[in-house]
């Protein structure tokens, strides 16, 4: 098939585009610049890149038509963040594409009532990002059920892999937290360290997109969580990473109002976002309907990313 991927040079596209090429698909990557993927792969030599600035093209009302002009059988949208963007794309490719797959987020849920959270639980998103993604999901699933539009939404957790810093045991993304654990230094965690984060390796997200393509009849009109088999508590995460470095975990637990004063404003904002959500999502539906089988557990995915950070000097390990 001819597959157009919008934003294919990012975290997930680094792994997804080579998978698509190796599966025999013709791949066109739409990017706003000549960004290179995080990991090199010979498959990229067979990929056509089209440079488009989505924001300006949408403002002019022509982005969707430009996608349609590429005559795709499948469109994979990695960077749809507003309902208007989704609507413009759907109206442009309606009647032409066999499948539209969109990258969502587990942030569509907001706080959980029961865990692990399933896809059927009522949405209670907060924050602009989660609210917009929930609106996009509701629109696409509504179009699928009312008009038969072939849409699928995949909701990743905290995407991790070599080339960028993972969400760390303090709930933000500053690599120095891993340096502290590597040297056996004391690490302050907010509250009791029992909030959760739920990672997923970028290649496992790519796998899920491939599985959704392969299981078209099960995937169309549905949304799926794409995360590792289990979430991590901040405390357990810190203890496991300290042990990985061969160090005891020296943890101190600090009430939120005091803890936020120990970090930067941006770190506090990220941590607040993560611990307020405390995601813990089920992958049972994706396993059952898509045969999704993540290769990485949360810690394995993080460890691979931290090895890269050590090799590039962003984490200092003994």
Specify whether 75 is located in the same domain as 191: no
Q: Residue 206 and residue 241: Cα distance in Å, rounded? A: 26
Nearest CA-CA partner of 1 in 120, 98, 130, 90: 98
Specify whether 46 is located in the same domain as 92: yes
Nearest CA-CA partner of 167 in 269, 82, 17, 15: 269
Q: Which helix (H) or strand (E) holds 49?
A: strand 48-51
Number of domains present in the structure of the chain:
2
pLDDT for position 32: 86
pLDDT for position 40: 86
Specify whether 114 is located in the same domain as 191: no
CATH of the domain at 248: 3.90.25
Specify whether 17 is located in the same domain as 143: yes
Q: Is 34 inside any structural domain? A: yes
Q: Is 144 inside any structural domain? A: yes
Specify whether 189 is located in the same domain as 248: yes
For residues 208 and 228, the answer to whether their CB atoms sit within 8 Å is no
Q: Is 251 inside any structural domain? A: yes
Q: Is 317 inside any structural domain? A: no
Q: Is 284 inside any structural domain? A: no
Three-state SS at 125:
coil
Three-state SS at 228:
coil
Residue 39: CB atoms within 10 Å? 15
Specify whether 68 is located in the same domain as 210: yes
pLDDT for position 34: 67
Q: Is 100 inside any structural domain? A: yes
Q: Residue 312 and residue 162: Cα distance in Å, rounded? A: 10
For residues 111 and 277, the answer to whether their CB atoms sit within 8 Å is yes
Specify whether 213 is located in the same domain as 67: yes
Specify whether 16 is located in the same domain as 114: yes
The range of the structural domain enclosing residue 87 comes to 2-159+199-226
Q: Is 16 inside any structural domain? A: yes
Could you list the pLDDT tens digit for every one of the 318 residues in the chain? 999 999 999 999 999 999 999 999 999 999 987 667 888 899 999 999 999 999 999 999 999 999 999 999 999 999 999 999 999 999 999 999 999 999 999 999 999 999 999 999 999 999 999 999 999 999 999 999 999 999 999 999 999 999 999 999 999 999 999 999 999 999 999 999 999 999 999 999 999 999 999 999 999 999 999 999 999 999 999 999 999 999 999 999 999 999 999 999 999 999 999 999 999 999 999 999 999 999 999 999 999 999 999 999 999 999
Q: Is the dihedral of CA 133, 138, 143, 148 positive or negative?
A: positive
Q: Residue 42 and residue 220: Cα distance in Å, rounded? A: 31
Specify whether 14 is located in the same domain as 55: yes
What's the whole-model pTM score? 0.97
Q: Is 286 inside any structural domain? A: no
pLDDT for position 37: 83
Specify whether 186 is located in the same domain as 244: yes
């Amino acid at each position: 098939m001819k597959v157009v991927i919008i934003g294919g040079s990012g975290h997930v596209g680094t792994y997804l585009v080579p998978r698509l090429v190796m599966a025999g698909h013709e791949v066109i990557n739409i990017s706003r610049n000549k960004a290179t993927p995080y990991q090199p792969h010979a498959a990229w030599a067979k990929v056509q890149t089209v440079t488009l600035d989505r924001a300006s093209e949408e403002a002019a009302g022509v982005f969707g038509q430009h996608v349609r002009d590429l005559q795709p059988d499948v469109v994979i949208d990695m960077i749809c963040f507003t309902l208007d963007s989704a609507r413009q794309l759907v109206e442009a490719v309606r009647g032409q594409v066999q499948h539209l797959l969109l990258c969502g987020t587990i942030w569509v849920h907001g706080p959980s009532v029961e865990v692990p959270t399933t896809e059927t639980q009522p949405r209670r998103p907060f924050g602009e990002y989660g609210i917009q993604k929930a609106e996009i999901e509701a629109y696409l699933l509504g179009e699928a059920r009312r008009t038969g539009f072939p849409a699928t939404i995949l909701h990743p957790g905290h995407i991790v892999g070599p080339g960028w810093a993972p969400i760390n045991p303090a709930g933000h993304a500053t690599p120095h937290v891993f340096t502290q654990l590597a040297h056996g230094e004391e690490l302050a965690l907010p509250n009791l360290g029992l909030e959760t984060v739920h990672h997923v390796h970028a290649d496992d997200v790519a796998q899920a997109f491939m599985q959704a393509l392969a299981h078209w009849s099960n995937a169309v009109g549905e949304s799926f969580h794409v995360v590792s088999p289990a979430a991590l508590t901040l405390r357990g995460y810190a203890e496991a990473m300290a042990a990985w470095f061969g160090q005891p975990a020296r943890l101190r637990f600090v009430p939120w109002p005091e803890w936020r004063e120990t970090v930067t404003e941006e770190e506090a904002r990220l941590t607040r976002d993560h611990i307020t959500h405390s995601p813990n999502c089920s992958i049972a539906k994706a396993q059952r309907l898509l045969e999704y089988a993540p290769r990485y557990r949360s810690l394995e995915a993080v460890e691979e990313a931290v090895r890269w950070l050590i090799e590039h000097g962003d984490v200092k390990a003994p």
